[in-house]
Structure 1
């Protein structure tokens, strides 16, 4: 039985989803949905056996502990969806079929996108590499195994996220998605090396209102953090796909520098992790207060 088949049977057998979970508040009181698609860290034996990387190397593509940093979101009244599967296994922040034909042992469907910059860079829906250009696999993947990851994990993940946003929009008249990620301690911006603490991305103003994006930046800077806006991370497929400001559905990507809370070599938490989590909690509270105040303004009240 394949790794996916084993997990699928486990999910059917004990009634729980082994691929991701939605942590809901007792009552949703905010027009907010939080999503952590890259913090999954369940590496099965079969997946590790199929990889040329060891258990430490393959974690280089993780958004380290981001689900934990945002774990208080339900206590504030907003649901949090988080992946259990690792990004190296499947990347749900891509189109469903951004696939590299060279990775597979047989022909792929005609509708794949094999020419996107992300596929060319080795970072498609089923990644070819982890960070630092480290190949994941020694041998081609079976086509059926690859497509089953999309069918049984990718599609349900997005169906769930879409349902959360639709429910939020229905109940509050608007929905704001915060897509939660982490980034290296040093990033390249315009050819220069920079060390921002946070980056807020809204697909260059297309996935969220300017007021919402600027509020997030203002809150973080008011807390003493350095920020960047859309550079070098403007948001991926999730931000682009779900952000529809004209319909009052907004999506922001937030990137947190891993150097603030983790050792980037050992991938272990630093003592500062607790303080950073407290700061994230403060951000959630202040951002929620902004949204509620904005929602009460004339012309912005919930339908």
Structure 2
């Protein structure tokens, strides 16, 4: 099902994979206010649709936006409240890249009215799709599980020191899913890749906002290091790397399906 701002692939079991930073488009009326840096959309969670293409055949629901996070960050609180108070972070409508480069030409940053318009045009439809899909799964199966699928450059000095682990899981310090769900993931063999839970990434707005474990809605974020499947210098998809990491992602998704289908 394709809408103006997102695509929802409908599944047949209670797992939704949301990819809120997978989009790359920028509408022309926004693009002309932006810098050449912004036009490159370098901070995209690149190629997640290719990495998780197996999930469609497993029966998962898959939700992907059309537009770039530079237009509006679908994983931010629409009120602008920070997920990590006191830490450096990008805004609901980002004005700088992860390298702190300006995304807008001088004097052309989005106004409050423009931000409101983007919430209505881009943010709200995506979140309505999440809410509706989780409600459908709960009604049909009695349970709903959502994997928030993300990826990020392995080194981003603006946000963290050193190099990230490869698999960064977050469940808001245990609050967004059943303890047994995360434990079953942590017991999987992700070697030779490194992994951590609730390290630098504890789960973003979507993971936190839709979680309701007491009512059988469980959410988990995975921030995958892009060094596991990209040539990070060129942002090109590395087929060999991808072929090596995809079985680990499929193992993860299959484990979430097992949990989702448990009574």
Corresponding residue number in structure 1 for 2:228:
260
Corresponding residue number in structure 2 for 1:41:
24
2:147/2:220 contact within 8 Å kept? yes
- Secondary structure of the residue aligned to 1:61 is coil
Residue-by-residue CA offset, 1:263-301 (whole Å, 9 max, x unaligned): 222111113223323432233224323443xx1xxxxx2
- Secondary structure of the residue aligned to 2:133 is helix
Which of 135, 150, 155 aligns to 2:102? It is 135
The structure whose residues are more often helix, as a share, is 1
Corresponding residue number in structure 1 for 2:7:
21
Alpha-carbon separation, structure 2, partners of 1:154 and 1:288: 27
1:31/1:172 contact within 8 Å kept? yes
- Under a length normalisation based on structure 2, what TM-score does the superposition of the two structures give? 0.88
Alpha-carbon separation, structure 2, partners of 1:154 and 1:131: 21
- Under a length normalisation based on structure 1, what TM-score does the superposition of the two structures give? 0.77
Residue-by-residue CA offset, 1:40-61 (whole Å, 9 max, x unaligned): 01134443321123366x4222
- Secondary structure of the residue aligned to 1:34 is strand
Corresponding residue number in structure 1 for 2:33:
50
Query: Which ranges of structure 2 fall in alignment gaps of 5 or more residues?
Result: none
Alpha-carbon separation, structure 2, partners of 1:290 and 1:248: 11
Query: Counterparts of 1:194-233 in structure 2 under 5 Å?
Result: 194-221=163-190, 224-233=192-201
Alpha-carbon separation, structure 1, partners of 2:223 and 2:83: 23
Corresponding residue number in structure 2 for 1:168:
137
Shift, 1:129, TM fit: 1.3
Residue-by-residue CA offset, 1:235-280 (whole Å, 9 max, x unaligned): 1110110111111111100111100111222111113223323432
After superposition, the Cα gap between the structure-2 partners of 1:220 and 1:179, relative to the gap in structure 1 and judged at 3 Å, is farther
Structure number with higher relative contact order (C-alpha < 8 Å, ≥ 6 residues apart): 2
Alpha-carbon separation, structure 2, partners of 1:135 and 1:145: 18
Alpha-carbon separation, structure 1, partners of 2:163 and 2:85: 23
After superposition, the Cα gap between the structure-2 partners of 1:122 and 1:215, relative to the gap in structure 1 and judged at 3 Å, is closer
